[in-house]
Structure 1
């Protein structure tokens, strides 16, 4: 009995110790560490709301605010938590996202350090790797060696010379949409004009372009994948501000739906890739006129360079079929979202500023007349390029970048310990009067007349596609598509905002028009 009592006593003590240890871990993670980080930043002159165990993030989004009267200040409507912190506490500010401390980085020199130093500043990862895959765990979500390996294989697909091959495909896709608009104008009861919500057509156009250029397939074949991706995005956005540990692992209806959608997306993409690979095995020449063909060719060359045949792939050499599927997933989502946003906001702003629409049209006719587009001519469109740069400054697709500090680092008067997250508030920096002047929130493409370096005065204050080694690999793809669309549009229409248009930008993955974009098109 005495031994049994001792054993039970020992077990009770062990249980108490385990509970105390777990309690200490929880206390440290959810209270002591956050308060320690907060104290460290306050000592360095940074300010923010005090940490609480039960944070209220209701101010993190202002997307439900009323519509804007003009385009000069969209920040109050779409600002993120980082912007709110800057407005409340100044440039040297921090804020809380759940129990995570995030530090605003607004100094251009510090921004450059963050975007160029991949060793100390890592891309923010989603709470669960499985969830990261749900929206495409491709190149943007890799780090270190894995990122270098994927980037090396993918780079050839986005080289400017390879993109030139895709010009005719982009032209055809854009021409199809604009021709449909012409038919609508002709059949309209109004003489020579038609009031159209162009946003759905632009979204379909971006889907069509990425489908054809990436996979050599029509929009109809890729339509289901896009629908699933957007449904997936809506589900994930619902969970974005849930900060309960392990929530992503629970078998809730939303989590089950996300996994089911992911499997369907992967199955569709795998079918596209398998069909292409079977053709390659049968001796058919790789289709080099689409991104998937270029990617498969680059992957095969990488495997061969490392001394492995096509049928023998060693782990860490080349990309697996699953990894290729993930990259295709990323092509679909990122390629469509960013470019569609750029095109629709360009139409909205040129509708508001007809003088710039006229200047751009004069340039287009001077370079092309009514002739078909070619790459040499597109490269000569200086005014069009200035306009696109200014649209991206005022309406960047993403409102902020986030990085995790992987190792203790000191940047001038700021010391950041490992584990802290930093935020680069793109919209705020793009609209900052101290960096861009008193007219920072006005549409003035002439500020880019001498190029980006001159417009920014050599400071890193403009980065809609990121900057440094991890700059968006699809930047040239997106800009080329937008330039082709705008050129064809200006050749055939003048356009202005409809009285039915409501200016209501909303941040859903990227910056979009909440109520569409009603435009009055007039045929030239």
Structure 2
């Protein structure tokens, strides 16, 4: 009996030691080894932090950038300091190509056009699209952006008919009509303004509404009741996704309040606008049931 307890304790201790070794390898030794390997090739970046990677530094730099935001120079096309202040700072500190960490997962960011061209035109399959922050998967799904190889070819074949010449021509007509309506509204606001109270137009909000209106009309048609609901939910999904990306990586897999809200919005969106394959299966089932009843 005592011998059995000793064997069980030894087995449990061995498993625990193995688990600790795997965790240390995944979260400590492997990131440091990767960082040293890239450093030997001249690629540096922000230091790796246990569990969090570079995410804490991302949050700190993003908060500092919001506080010290410089006035917008309308004559300049350099939008990186405003749109991506963290990556702009790292590019200045570490060069055009640098290594950063999404938790224990390494990531390379490059503004070297030749390197970008080499990656995009690669046909060896070496550069796989095999990682995505879980929250982003809720927003973009597992479509062309994430799949590889035969799955990518199959997805491309499915979506290609939606982007033929005639379809794009019809979309351009809708785009022109909606844009003209927006410009007409702007002109009215400007005409109604005065020297004491100038017209103020939020271009970012206007562009979001313009995109939503175009997508709604193309996907649902004019006046479709579900269009506004779906575009609103997609906006909420994008808001929660953006916030979740700045969370600590360990929180992505836990049932936090934000993750529950994210999944609730996703389920409501899919309820209003289910995937095409689901609609086809439901329609086929209903047709079969009708034939059996008749």
Give the TM bin, normalised by the shorter chain.
0.7 to 0.9
* Structure ranking higher on relative contact order (CA contacts 8 Å, 6+ apart): 1
Runs (5+) with no aligned partner, structure 1 = 282-309, 312-524
Cα 1:270–1:168 change in 2 (3 A) is same
TM-score by length of 2: 0.79
Pairing 1:219-238 to 2, within 5 Å after superposition: 221-238=226-243
Q: 1-side partners of 2:19 and 2:130: how far apart?
A: 27
Is contact 2:97–2:109 with CA below 8 Å preserved after alignment? Answer: yes
Q: 2-side partners of 1:77 and 1:184: how far apart?
A: 28
Cα 1:221–1:185 change in 2 (3 A) is farther
Q: Secondary structure at the match of 2:145?
A: helix
Q: 1-side partners of 2:194 and 2:95: how far apart?
A: 52
Q: 2-side partners of 1:190 and 1:241: how far apart?
A: 43
| More strand, by proportion | 1
Deviation of 1:12 (Å): 0.4
- Other-structure match for 1:18: 15
- Other-structure match for 2:256: 252
Cα 1:133–1:217 change in 2 (3 A) is farther
Cα 1:51–1:249 change in 2 (3 A) is closer
- Other-structure match for 1:68: 71
1:34 aligned to 31, 35, 40, which one? 31
Is contact 2:45–2:90 with CA below 8 Å preserved after alignment? Answer: yes
Q: Verify: 1:125 aligned to 2:128, yes or no.
A: no
Q: 1-side partners of 2:283 and 2:8: how far apart?
A: 65
Q: Verify: 1:48 aligned to 2:51, yes or no.
A: no
Q: 2-side partners of 1:151 and 1:7: how far apart?
A: 59
- Other-structure match for 1:149: 154
Cα 1:21–1:189 change in 2 (3 A) is closer
Deviation of 1:80 (Å): 4.9
1:172 aligned to 168, 174, 177, which one? 177
Q: 2-side partners of 1:275 and 1:38: how far apart?
A: 47
Q: 1-side partners of 2:249 and 2:283: how far apart?
A: 48
2:114 aligned to 104, 109, 122, which one? 109
Is contact 1:59–1:81 with CA below 8 Å preserved after alignment? Answer: no
TM-score by length of 1: 0.47
Runs (5+) with no aligned partner, structure 2 = 289-294
Q: Residue deviations 1:345-386, cap 9 Å, x none?
A: xxxxxxxxxxxxxxxxxxxxxxxxxxxxxxxxxxxxxxxxxx
Count of aligned pairs between the two proteins: 276
Is contact 1:114–1:121 with CA below 8 Å preserved after alignment? Answer: yes
Q: 1-side partners of 2:279 and 2:41: how far apart?
A: 58
Cα 1:162–1:47 change in 2 (3 A) is same
Q: Secondary structure at the match of 2:273?
A: helix
Is contact 1:82–1:95 with CA below 8 Å preserved after alignment? Answer: no
Is contact 1:81–1:95 with CA below 8 Å preserved after alignment? Answer: no
Q: Secondary structure at the match of 1:94?
A: strand
Q: 1-side partners of 2:129 and 2:7: how far apart?
A: 46
Deviation of 1:164 (Å): 1.0
| More helix, by proportion | 2
Q: Residue deviations 1:317-341, cap 9 Å, x none?
A: xxxxxxxxxxxxxxxxxxxxxxxxx
Deviation of 1:33 (Å): 0.5
Q: 1-side partners of 2:44 and 2:249: how far apart?
A: 26
Deviation of 1:74 (Å): 3.4
1:134 aligned to 99, 122, 138, which one? 138
Q: 2-side partners of 1:242 and 1:205: how far apart?
A: 30
